[in-house]
Amino acid sequence: MAKINSIGILTSGGDAPGMNAAIRAVTRSAICNGLKVFGIYRGYKGLVTDEIIEFKSQNVSNIIQMGGTILKTARCQEFRTAEGRAQAYENMKKHGIDALVVIGGDGSLTGARILAQEFDIPCIGLPGTIDNDLYGTDTTIGYDTALNTILDAVDKIRDTATSHERLFFVEVMGRDAGFLALNGAIAAGAEAAIIPEFSTEVDQLEQFIEHGFRKSKSSSIVLVAESELTGGAMHYAERVKNEYPQYDVRVTILGHLQRGGRPTAHDRIIASRMGVASIQALLEGQRNVMIGIENDKIVYVPFAKAIKNDKPIDKELVNVLHELSI
Ligand code: F6P
C-alpha cells in the first residue's frame, strides 16, 4: 500500500455545527503525524475547479467555536459526471494529495465512495449532518447542537401555546429521518412526534388525538419531521382544521436556523475525536470507512454499510415519549 504523505479535507452537503471543530482536528492531527494538509473549498466543486490551498496549523486557529464551515460547502453537478471526477483526480495529483477526508452526510460519503472506487484513493468519511441518519454511529457531528436549537425554540413556543391554549405543530428538519423530531420531543416535553419511520404503519395524528390531547391539557406541542413521507406540519394542521375543528391550531417551521449556531460541547468533542481518528485510520491503512462512535468508542464503518442501511429508530424512545406525554 502506497505511503500517505499528504491529505485533502473537504466539507460537503448541508453544513452542520461542529464541522469546523472537525476540520481543525483533522488538520492538526495530520500535521502532528507528519502529513501535509490541503483544504479544499466548496466540497467536491473545489476539487473539480481546483480551489485547494495548503493548510497550516494557524489556518484552523480560533474556529472550534464557530458554526458553519470555513471550507464552505456546495452541491456539485459536475462531480456527478465521469469527466468531473477525472478532473477532480487530476487536481489531487497536481497537489500531491494521496488521500481524502470528507465531512458530510450520506450524499457526501457516496461521492467519496465512488471516487475511491474509480481512482483507488483512500477516503475516510466523518459523519457531519444534523440529521443523525448515518448507520453505524450513535451520533453525527451537528446533531446535538441542532437538538438544542430545537429545544430553545420549542421552550419559547410553549409559552405562547400555553397562554392561548393552542395546539402547535412544529416542523423540524431531518430529511427522511425522525431522530431530531423524536428526541427533540422527548427533551422538550412535547406531546407527540410525527416521524417518517412510522408514516406507513399508523395514522400518527389519530394516535395522538386518541392518546389524550385535551383530556388533561389545554395546549399541546407536536414535533413533525419534515419529509414527503409525513407531509410536514402544514399537512397535519390542515387535517386538524378539517377533522377536529374544535382545536385552535398553529404551525411553526423551524427551517435552516436548526443548521446554525455555536456547536455544543458534545459536538465539539465528538468532532475532535473523529477528526483525530480519521488520521489514525489512514495511518493504519484503513480506507473507505466512515468514522463512527458507538457506546462512546470510535468505530470504523465501511461506506457501503453507513450509506445504504436505514438507521433504525429505537422503540424504547418512542415508548418514553408516549408514557411521558399523558
Ligand atoms: O441534511 C441536512 C438538511 O438540513 C436536512 O435536514 C434538510 O432536509 C436539508 O439538509 C435541507 O437542505 P438545503 O440546505 O439544501 O435546503
pLDDT per position as a tens digit, 238-251: 999 999 998 999 99
Q: Annotated catalytic residue: which of 131, 133, 144, 267?
A: 131
Atom of ligand 1 nearest to the CA of 174: 6
Nearest CA owner, ligand 1 atom 12:
14
pLDDT of residue 85: 96
pTM: 0.97
Among 76-80, 160-164, 287-291, the least confident range: 76-80
What digits encode the pLDDT tens for the residues 178-231?
Answer: 999 999 999 999 999 999 999 888 899 998 888 876 666 789 999 999 999 999
pLDDT bracket for residue 36 (50, 70, 90): very high
Beta carbon of 196 within 6 Å of any ligand 1 atom: no
Q: What is the 3-state secondary structure (H, E, C) of the chain?
A: CCCCCEEEEEECCCCCCCHHHHHHHHHHHHHHCCCEEEEECCCHHHHHHCCEEEECHHHHCCCCCCCCCCCCCCCCCHHHCHHHHHHHHHHHHHHCCCEEEEEECHHHHHHHHHHHHHHCCCEEEEEECCCCCCCCCCCCECHHHHHHHHHHHHHHHHHHHHHHCCEEEEEECCCCCCHHHHHHHHHHCCCEEECHHHCCCCCHHHHHHHCCCCCCCCCEEEEEECCCCCCHHHHHHHHHHHHCCCCCEEEEECHHHHHCCCCCHHHHHHHHHHHHHHHHHHHCCCCCEEEEEECCEEEEEEHHHHHHCCCCCCHHHHHHHHHHCC
Beta carbon of 167 within 6 Å of any ligand 1 atom: no
131 catalytically annotated:
yes
- Rounded to the nearest whole angstrom, what is the distance from the C-alpha of residue 243 to the centroid of ligand 1? 31
pLDDT of residue 213: 65
pLDDT of residue 308: 82
Beta carbon of 259 within 6 Å of any ligand 1 atom: yes
Report, as an integer, the average pLDDT of 259-264.
98
Beta carbon of 174 within 6 Å of any ligand 1 atom: yes
Atom of ligand 1 nearest to the CA of 175: 8
Report, as an integer, the average pLDDT of 253-282.
98
- Rounded to the nearest whole angstrom, what is the distance from the C-alpha of residue 18 to the centroid of ligand 1? 16
- Rounded to the nearest whole angstrom, what is the distance from the C-alpha of residue 130 to the centroid of ligand 1? 9
pLDDT of residue 236: 96
Atom of ligand 1 nearest to the CA of 13: 1
Indicate the average pLDDT of the chain: 95
Return the best residue to mutate from 141, 226, 259, 311 for the ligand 1 pocket (most ligand atoms within 8 A of CB).
Answer: 259
Report, as an integer, the average pLDDT of 54-78.
96
pLDDT of residue 153: 98
pLDDT bracket for residue 288 (50, 70, 90): very high
Report, as an integer, the average pLDDT of 109-123.
95
Beta carbon of 14 within 6 Å of any ligand 1 atom: yes
- Rounded to the nearest whole angstrom, what is the distance from the C-alpha of residue 129 to the centroid of ligand 1? 9
pLDDT of residue 215: 66
